C-alpha cells in the first residue's frame, strides 16, 4: 500500500499568482493572491474562491514588503534543493513558517517554493535535465537577499533621468502579465506574476517614475514617501510641514535672540567702559573713580547672569534690553554726580 506523503498546511494551488492594481491618484494599491484561474475569474465578478489574500493598502506597501533576510533565504535555497525524504519535514516546516507571515509577498513566496519543490521531485523522477530548480529557487528568493529600498535610492541618485536604467538585468528577465478588467465606466489594469516577483517590482517602479515621483525620506518623521521631485521636496505631509515650520521658527528665534543679546551685552559693556575711560582722562579723583569702577564691576556681574538667563530661555530679551537702558541711566547719573557731565 502506497503511503501518503506529509503535506504543508497551506492551500494547494495549480499555479499561484500575485496581482496588483496601482492607483496613484488615490495613493492606493490593490493586491490579490490566489490561484491564477480563480483570481482571473474573481476580478470579473465570480465568487471569492481560492483567494488567500486581498487588500487595498497605501501606495508603495508592496515595495516595503521586500525586506532583506539574507541568511534565512540562503538556507531556504539550500533546503528546497535537498530532495532527500528525511529533509521533507524540514521543508514543510519552513514553508508553513513563511506562509504564516503577515507579509503577503512572503505568503506568495511560500506557495511558489512549494510548487517548485514538487516540480523538482517530478523532474528527478522523470529525469528531466532541462528543469533547473536551482536557478528558479534563486530567482524566487533573490529580492529578499538585497535591500530594495536602499538600491532604489541609489538608482535614483546615479541615474535620475530614468532610475530603471540602473536596475539589475534580473528584474527584467521574466515577463509581467497584464489582466484587464473592463466595465462600462472604465478598464482596470492589474499586473501579475506567477513566478518571480522581480518583474512586478520593475512594473511598480515604472509606474512611479512615469508619474514623475521619486522615493525620499521625510526629514521630519524619517518615513519613506513619494516626492514630486528629486531631492527638493524633503517633507512628506502638511502635518510634518507644520512641525518643521515650528522648528524653523524656534531656530530662527534662538539665532536672533543669541545675536541680539550678545551684541547688546558687548555694546553696553563698551558704553560703561568708555564713560570710565573719559572720566580718567578728565582727571577724576581716586575716590570717584573707585565708585565708578565698583558700579562697573557690579554691572558686569549682573549682566552676565541675565545674559545666561536669556540664553537658557528663562528671561525674555525685552526685559534684558530694558534693564540695560536703566543701567545707562545709572552710569550717566554717576558721571553727573562727579561733575563730568552726562554725555561728556
For the segment 307-336, the average pLDDT, to the nearest whole number, is: 85
Distance in angstroms (rounded) separating the CA atoms of residues 104 and 262: 59
Tell whether the model's pLDDT for residue 259 goes beyond 80: no
pLDDT digits (tens, 9 = 90+) for 39-66: 999 999 899 999 999 999 999 999 999 9
How does strand 224-227 pair with strand 16-23? unpaired
* SS3 of 170-238: HHHCCCCEEEEEECCCCEEEEEEECCCCHHHHHHHHHHHHHCCCEEEECCCCCCEEEECCCCCCCCCCH
- How many C-beta neighbours within 10 Å does residue 126 have? 9
* pLDDT band (50, 70, 90) for residue 103: very high
Mean pLDDT of the chain: 89
Q: What is the pLDDT of residue 128?
A: 86
With beta carbons less than 8 A apart as the criterion, state whether 220 and 235 touch.
yes
pLDDT digits (tens, 9 = 90+) for 16-46: 999 999 998 899 999 999 999 999 999 998 9
Task: Map out the domains of the chain as residue ranges.
Answer: 16-227, 240-337
Q: Which residue has the cell 528665534?
A: 253
For the segment 241-262, the average pLDDT, to the nearest whole number, is: 76
Q: What is the pLDDT of residue 258?
A: 57
CA distances from 279 to 171, 175, 272, 335 (A): 85, 93, 11, 8
pLDDT digits (tens, 9 = 90+) for 110-130: 999 999 999 999 999 898 888
- How many C-beta neighbours within 10 Å does residue 186 have? 8
- DSSP code for 248: H
Share of the chain above pLDDT 90, in %: 50
Amino acid at each position: 500500500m502506497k503511503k501518503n506523503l506529509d503535506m504543508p498546511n497551506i492551500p494547494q494551488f495549480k499555479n499561484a499568482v500575485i496581482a496588483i492594481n496601482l492607483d496613484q491618484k488615490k495613493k492606493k494599491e490593490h493586491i490579490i493572491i490566489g490561484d491564477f484561474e480563480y483570481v482571473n475569474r474573481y476580478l470579473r465578478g465570480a465568487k471569492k474562491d481560492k483567494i488567500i489574500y486581498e487588500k487595498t493598502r497605501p501606495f508603495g506597501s508592496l515595495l516595503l514588503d521586500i525586506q532583506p533576510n539574507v541568511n534565512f533565504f540562503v538556507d531556504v535555497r539550500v533546503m528546497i534543493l535537498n530532495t532527500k525524504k528525511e529533509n521533507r519535514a524540514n521543508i514543510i516546516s519552513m514553508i508553513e513558517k513563511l506562509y504564516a507571515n503577515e507579509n503577503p509577498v512572503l505568503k506568495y513566496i511560500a506557495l511558489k517554493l512549494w510548487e517548485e519543490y514538487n516540480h523538482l521531485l517530478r523532474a528527478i523522477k522523470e529525469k528531466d535535465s532541462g528543469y533547473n530548480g536551482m536557478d528558479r529557487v534563486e530567482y524566487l528568493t533573490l529580492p529578499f537577499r538585497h535591500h530594495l529600498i536602499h538600491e532604489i535610492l541609489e538608482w535614483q541618485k546615479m541615474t535620475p533621468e530614468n532610475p530603471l536604467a540602473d536596475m539589475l538585468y534580473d528584474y527584467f528577465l521574466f515577463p509581467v502579465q497584464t489582466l484587464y478588467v473592463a466595465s462600462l465606466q472604465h478598464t482596470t489594469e492589474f499586473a501579475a506574476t506567477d513566478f518571480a516577483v522581480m518583474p512586478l517590482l520593475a512594473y511598480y517602479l515604472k509606474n512611479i517614475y512615469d508619474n514623475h515621483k521619486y522615493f525620499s525620506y521625510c526629514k521630519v518623521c524619517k518615513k519613506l514617501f513619494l516626492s514630486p521631485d528629486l531631492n527638493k521636496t524633503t517633507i512628506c505631509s502638511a502635518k510634518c510641514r507644520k512641525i518643521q515650520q515650528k522648528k524653523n521658527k524656534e531656530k530662527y528665534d534662538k539665532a536672533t535672540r543669541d545675536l541680539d543679546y550678545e551684541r547688546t551685552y558687548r555694546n553696553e559693556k563698551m558704553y560703561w567702559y568708555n564713560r570710565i575711560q573719559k572720566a580718567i582722562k578728565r582727571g577724576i579723583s581716586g575716590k570717584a573713580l573707585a565708585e565708578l569702577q565698583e558700579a562697573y564691576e557690579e554691572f558686569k556681574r549682573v549682566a552676565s547672569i541675565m545674559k545666561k538667563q536669556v540664553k537658557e530661555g528663562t528671561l525674555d530679551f525685552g526685559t534684558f534690553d530694558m534693564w540695560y537702558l536703566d543701567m545707562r541711566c545709572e552710569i550717566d547719573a554717576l558721571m553727573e554726580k562727579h561733575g563730568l557731565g552726562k554725555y561728556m
